[in-house]
A and B are shown apart, each in its own frame.
Chain A
Amino acid sequence: MHANDADVPSHEPPDDSSDTRATGHAAMAQGDMQMQGGDAPKDARDPHAYSDGYTLTEGPYALPGPRQLKLADEHRFWSLLGDRLEYDADNDVTTFDLQGWYGTTYDRLVIKLEGDAVDGRLAESQTDLLWGHALNAYFDTQLGVRLDQYDEGTGREWLAFGIQGLAPYWFELDLTAYLGEGGRTALSLEAEYELLLTQRLILQPRAELTAYGKDDAVNGLGRGLSDVALGLRLRYEFSRQFAPYVGIEWNGTFGATADQARANGDATKDTRYVAGIRFWF
């Protein structure tokens, strides 16, 4: 704490209930004020009402030919985020978790790539190829396919449908449902949060849950909640685009998946120390 904190005059109101105040603000944001989202009322203005029927290419004084002025709202952009690229020295496991996109503000091709390499060999990977489309101000729907690859096991193909975006209170959410051959189903939920200890030192809690609708003995997966990963990573952003980190990750398998692991003589719970880099461009 600062030594001069004592000099800061206190603005504590004498006896007001802070709970009431908080509720008051929430009510204003979500309730009568509707500052975000929602449906347009019937009497909402027509945004083209002032145009007299003219367009950007038709009407008086429009330059002949196709429209020349195209601003960045009609450009396509792309990005690649390496959210996790990390190494666990104890087990010699390299984990990667990449996400890329290409497209406009509201429609994008999204690629997600996640997997582990053990002893220098790709052990398993999961690739999502998705069309992302804006659902509301903060979330995109995602529709496409997922391809699973296992070093020891059978590859799977899935149809994928999900949503990804920023939830209130700044939680990054990625929720996807999958439908595979033979009536296989799966559900995955990822949530991340960023806690700024300073402008550059950032603590990132992360949770990932996976569930399956059917047993998949070949791949060591059982019905129900199969695994949970909880991670905590501390990174330093030398630039916003490049940050090395250290972290700890707890992994647990559950239910039928845990049973299979036990049958194979594998551990069902495991805590790893990892070091890696996060980057984007």
Chain B
Amino acid sequence: MKTFSATRRHFVQGLVAGGVLASFPALLHAGGRLENQTHTGTAPVLSGQSIDLVVAETPVNFTGVIRMATTINGSIPAPTLRLREGDEVTIRVTNRLKVPTSIHWHGIILPFQMDGVPGISFRGIAPGETFVYRFKLQQSGTYWYHSHSGFQEMTGMYGALIIEPRDGQVRPAAGHLRADRDYVVQLSDWTDDDPMSVFAKLKVQSDVYNFNQPTVGDFFRDVSTQGVSGALDKRQMWNQMRMNPTDLADLSAATLTYLMNGRTPAGNWTGLFTPGERVRLRFINAASNSFYDVRIPGLKMAVVQADGQNIEPVEVDEFRFGPGETYDVLVEPKDDAHTIFAQSMDRTGYARGTLAVRDGLNAPVPALDPVEWLTMADMMGRMDHGAMNHGTMGHDTGMDHSKMDHSQMDPGGMAMDHSQHGMQQAPMAKPSQKVNHARSEYGTSVDMRVDRPRTNLDDPGIGLRNNGRRVLTLADLRSQEGVLNDSRSAVREIELHLTGNMERYSWSFDGLEFGKSTPVAMKHGERVRVILQNDTMMTHPMHLHGMWSDLEDDQGRLRVRRHTIPVQPAQRISFLTTPHDLGRWAWHCHLLFHMDAGMFREVVVS
């Protein structure tokens, strides 16, 4: 933060009153009525089986500059829909924009015509038109919805979708979910710029928003602690490969303001509680491009749901989640006020709110954690095998042991390929380990390939390794019994690589952007294993529409049911899925710009 000027700090923190248009008579005269302004903060709640939503452009002011947002019912976030499992709901969406729009029900199992992806599931909602979504809710938990058209999601079109279990909260298996208060905590990011112009800038200079780049000063600091050769060595591979070790997020606080429930950090969204109460927080990452690291200093969080699915409770200090993911946590506040702190993964800013016994209270807001360089493991994957000589893994080479997840290095850890020790198992019982790059990965669209990916799930990722806090990892997540309801082995494997070229700002699967790709065909009802290998240095939250992604470990043990799975740099993970609904579905990275740049595939279930 010290590099930011006062103006920048002001921008990062935003305005106290986000949506309010205090005194801008010119705009009011031009735009019409005062009631036309955008409501921000805790969203209104809509319930029942019949709901009307209206999409329109309305003005909003988060940073001192009035901009037009794309809103649903004039609210950022959009209304929270509280629906009931088992109900058939009818949701009428009216488009009052000048361009087509759409709503996608993220994580919801439904017929593909209701999935809301223009050009795949339907034709989109034309200006002036009303589209009627009608589907039966077959699940419960915390979900969300958002536009799938252009960059409308980034300009405000996202809302929470909470589905109550049909038999109420207190069925025996879910008794631990009992809470006295229940809050949606929706994190997002906002830019005052036109998102397409932001995207175009990245196309010209992909590090345009990175103000944490290695400098000459950093080099001399390293020389003083590690010597000249140590400092050179730390940079050698990055520079040779034209890769940037601080390339953690394409966008940063240089253009983004981080929001919690539509409030800026200065706006301080507050959730009230009475001392002694147990509070359920439904965290939804509705950001277009930001991973958040969430913690409530002084409080343990019991994570009880992931992507709406009940999991064995895990007590943590902190969790990271990417766009599209949701985590429900239970907390028991001890003090009068606790800060809910969500710093962006690149450490340039944060979203923040407060749990308090009354409005107006604040707790200290922690400083941002220091920026960490990506490690060699983030570029090359598995560091415990092969060509790499252990003697080269010195402490001065940019892969500082103290920051590395030791399980990656530990021959007994999950990264170890146990297949050699193995008893014979069914051929598809475990995910294959052999890396198979697509031939299109050797072209102009790919700047890096990983030959020895790591397969462990217990790495919290860059910036969270050994920070002294208990940080949630994928390995901690275990669906409660009965959730993974298809115990068949996979009949085949689909291996796809997540690829990109930072310099050209292109993102893809297997080196093929969407326009050059062909669909992935799946047979209705088959049990398929999908292997995703990340051949980039960024974490991608991968969202498969229309079916569940049952995450397994590298031994083929099913862990948790997700709809969005973050894949870390140089990581190879796999999940099983059963396509139970026919049709065409979208499959993409939920970083909006990665999706739009081409990290997007169609899936045909027939």
Q: Are B389 and A24 in contact (CB under 8 A)?
A: yes
Task: Kindly specify which of B59-67, B232-240, B416-424, B557-565 makes contact with the partner chain.
Answer: B232-240
* Per-residue A-contact encoding for B129-167, CB less than 8 Å = 1, 0 else: 000000000000000000000000000000000000000
Q: Which residues of A contact B395 (CB under 8 A)?
A: 11-13
B584 to chain A, nearest CB (A): 5
CB-CB under 8 A from A62, the residues of chain B are 584
Interface residue B212 (Cβ < 8 Å from any Cβ of A): yes
A12 x B597 contact (CB < 8 A): no
Q: Are A73's CB and B598's CB within 8 A?
A: yes
Q: Which residues of A contact B212 (CB under 8 A)?
A: 199
Contact A12 B239 (CB under 8 A): no
Q: How far is the CA of A67 from the CA of B218 in the complex (A)?
A: 49
Top 10 nearest A-B pairs (CB, nearest first) are: A69-B119, A11-B395, A18-B229, A73-B513, A68-B119, A73-B598, A51-B518, A52-B521, A44-B439, A40-B439
Given A137-B447, A195-B216, A18:B387 Cβ within 8 A: no
- The 8 Å CB contact of A12, one of B117, B226, B595, is B226
> Which of A83-91, A163-171, A226-234, A245-253 forms part of the interface with chain B?
A163-171
List 27 contacting pairs A-B, 8 Å CB cutoff, sorted by A.
A12-B230, A12-B396, A25-B233, A27-B387, A35-B379, A35-B450, A36-B241, A37-B442, A44-B436, A46-B438, A50-B520, A51-B518, A59-B606, A60-B606, A63-B119, A63-B123, A67-B119, A72-B596, A72-B598, A73-B514, A73-B516, A77-B200, A105-B203, A106-B444, A136-B444, A169-B242, A240-B209
The interface-forming segment of B31-39, B325-333, B499-507 is B499-507
**Chain B 438-452 against A: per-residue CB contact (8 Å), 1 yes, 0 no?**
111111111111111
Q: A71-B514, A72-B596 are in contact. Are A137 and B437 (CB under 8 A)?
A: no
Q: Which residue of B lies closest to A280 (CB)?
A: B204
Asked if residues A199 and B213 are in contact (CB atoms below 8 Å), the reply is yes
Interface centre among B215, B396, B448, B519 (most CB of A within 10 A): B519
Q: Answer yes or no: B183 CB below 8 A from chain A CBs.
A: no
Q: Nearest Cβ in chain B — how far from A171, in angstroms?
A: 9
User: In this complex, what residue of A is CB-closest to B387?
Assistant: A32
Q: Is B341 an interface residue (CB 8 A)?
A: no
Report how far A18 CA is from B391 CA in the complex, Å: 11
Measured in the bound complex, the distance between the Cα atoms of B452 and A71 in whole Å is 32
Let me know if B411 is at the binding interface, CB within 8 A: no
The answer on a CB contact under 8 Å between A36 and B449 is yes
A22 interface residue, CB < 8 Å from B?
A: yes
Determine the chain A residues whose CB is within 8 A of the CB of B123 once the complex forms.
63, 68
CB closest chain-A residue, reference B242: A166
Known A-B contacts A51-B518, A166-B503; the reply to A18 vs B230 at CB < 8 A is yes
Q: Tell me the minimal C-beta distance from B571 to chain A in angstroms.
A: 15
A34 within 8 A of B: yes
Closest to A64 in B: B123
Bound: A40/B442 CA distance, A: 6
Nearest A residue (CB) for B511? A47
Cα distance, A70 to B596, chains bound together (Å): 9
Which B residues fall within an 8 A CB radius of A? 3, 112, 117-120, 122-124, 199-201, 203-205, 208-209, 211-217, 220-221, 224-227, 229-230, 232-233, 236-237, 239-242, 379-380, 387-389, 391-392, 394-397, 400, 436-452, 494-495, 501, 503-506, 508-521, 582-584, 595-598, 600, 602, 604, 606
Given A33-B380, A40-B441, A168-B240, check contact A61 B604 (CB 8 Å): yes
Q: How many A-B contacts are there with CB distance less than 8 Å?
A: 257
Is A181 interfacial (CB 8 A cutoff)? no
Complex formed: what's the CA distance from A12 to B222 in Å? 11
- Provide the bound-state CA to CA distance between A2 and B370, in Å: 16
Residues of B within 8 A of A5 (CB): 221, 224-225
Q: How many chain A residues touch B (Cβ–Cβ < 8 Å)?
A: 79
- Within 8 Å of chain B (Cβ to Cβ): is A135? yes
* Interface SS, A side: loop
Smallest CB gap from A2: residue in B: B221
**In the complex, chain A residues whose CB is within 8 Å of the CB of B229:** 18-19, 21-22
Residues of B within 8 A of A70 (CB): 119, 515
A145 at interface by CB-CB < 8 Å: no
Residue of A nearest to B151 (CB): A72
A54 and B387 contacting across the interface, CB-CB below 8 Å: no
Q: Is the CB of B216 within 8 A of A196?
A: yes
Q: Which residues of A contact B445 (CB under 8 A)?
A: 105-106, 137
Closest A residue to B391 using CB positions: A16
A39 at the interface (CB under 8 A from B): yes
Evaluate whether A34 and B224 lie within 8 angstroms (CB atoms) in the complex, with A50-B494, A71-B597 already known.
no
Q: A45 in the interface, Cβ–Cβ < 8 Å?
A: yes
When distances are taken between beta carbons in the complex, the residues of chain B under 8 Å from A30 are 240
Known: A18-B229, A22-B229, A67-B119. A135 touches B387 (CB 8 A): no
Known: A12-B226, A40-B439, A44-B436. A199 touches B3 (CB 8 A): yes
- Which residue of the partner chain B has the closest CB to A195? B216
Chain A nearest CB from B496 CB (Å) reads: 8
Known A29-B240, A105-B506; 12 more pairs at CB < 8 Å: A2-B221, A13-B394, A25-B236, A25-B237, A36-B448, A47-B512, A54-B604, A55-B518, A71-B514, A74-B513, A137-B446, A198-B215
